[in-house]
Amino acid sequence: MDYNENNPMSYSARAETATYDTGLRAYLLSVYNYMTSALALTGIFAYLASHWGVLISALYQFNGLHMGLTGLGVLVAIAPLAFVLVLSFGVNRLSLPAMQALFWVYAAVMGLSMSLYFFLYSGQSLARAFFITAIVFGSMSMWGYATKRDLTSMGHFMIMGLWGIIIASVVNIFVGSTGLQFAVSILGVGIFVGLTAWDTQKIKQLYYMTSGDATVAGKSAIMGALTLYLDFINLFVMLLRLFGDRRN
């Protein structure tokens, strides 16, 4: 439609566009608020689990210079996967308050499982890896939001790479190769950098599929936050493995 200041339809079209833009900003703000709050909760619980004697004794067992997981520690380590599966497959059946509760509990349990890194790496390494991750993640997320390029093909390629590093990581549990772990970490950084941009673009596109339904938009925001949260956490772990200073 050609712009004509005397044409009422031109004002209507502009008003509709402004409404969509305002709604999109509010939606994305909700996504990032969920994600950053979950990261903060994870950090708090990771710190508590690594400094509070009761939690340390419940999750870890020490034998001289060796450290292992207790039965509860093993359960906590695999519990985040269960939460992700419940949220992913139950999105249509769960209520919005139930999804919010599961999301916060998931972030807390993830913090307990990640407390291990406080024992393995120095505090300076953890802080350095976190700030590098925040800068890289923020840059790629902004690019994924702003770019006009369709990132679908790149995203599918990254998903295939993700399955590759998962398989390689499982194999390395039995092989114990430091070289393979180094290669997985390098590939993992590239893969999660790409996934951050693609996931941001998908979250932006999903907004227009909510059809103004507040409940659907709320659930979509939680799932979008979960996706970006996982991108951030995995990128952080890969960078920590590459550049972190391990404790003796």
Report percent pLDDT > 70 for the chain: 90
Residue listed under structure tokens 């907004």: 207
* 14 has pLDDT over 70: no
The answer to whether residue 226 sits within a structural domain is: yes
| Tens digit of each residue's pLDDT (9 = 90 or more) over 96-134 | 999 999 999 999 999 999 998 988 899 899 999 999 999
pTM for the full model? 0.86
Per the prediction, the chain carries an average pLDDT of 86
Q: Do the Cβ atoms of 140 and 163 come closer than 8 Å?
A: no
CA distance 50 to 163: 31
The answer to whether residue 85 sits within a structural domain is: yes
Count up the domains in the chain and report the number.
1
| Tens digit of each residue's pLDDT (9 = 90 or more) over 159-184 | 999 999 889 888 877 777 788 888 88
* pLDDT at residue 5 in the model: 47
Coil vs helix vs strand at 68: strand
Joined together, the tokens standing for residue 80 give 């985040």
Residue 64 confidence class, pLDDT cut points 50, 70, 90: low
* pLDDT at residue 120 in the model: 87
* 222 has pLDDT over 70: yes
CA distance 180 to 170: 11
The answer to whether residue 28 sits within a structural domain is: yes
Coil vs helix vs strand at 86: helix
The answer to whether residue 232 sits within a structural domain is: yes
The answer to whether residue 118 sits within a structural domain is: yes
Residues 6 or more apart whose Cβ sits within 8 Å of residue 151: 144, 197, 198, 201
* 6 has pLDDT over 60: no
The answer to whether residue 2 sits within a structural domain is: no
Q: Which residue range is the domain that position 128 belongs to?
A: 8-243
CA distance 235 to 133: 6
The answer to whether residue 248 sits within a structural domain is: no
Q: Do the Cβ atoms of 198 and 7 come closer than 8 Å?
A: no
Q: Do the Cβ atoms of 35 and 25 come closer than 8 Å?
A: no
State residue 63 phi and psi, 5-degree precision.
Answer: -135, 90
The answer to whether residue 199 sits within a structural domain is: yes
| Tens digit of each residue's pLDDT (9 = 90 or more) over 22-35 | 888 889 999 999 99
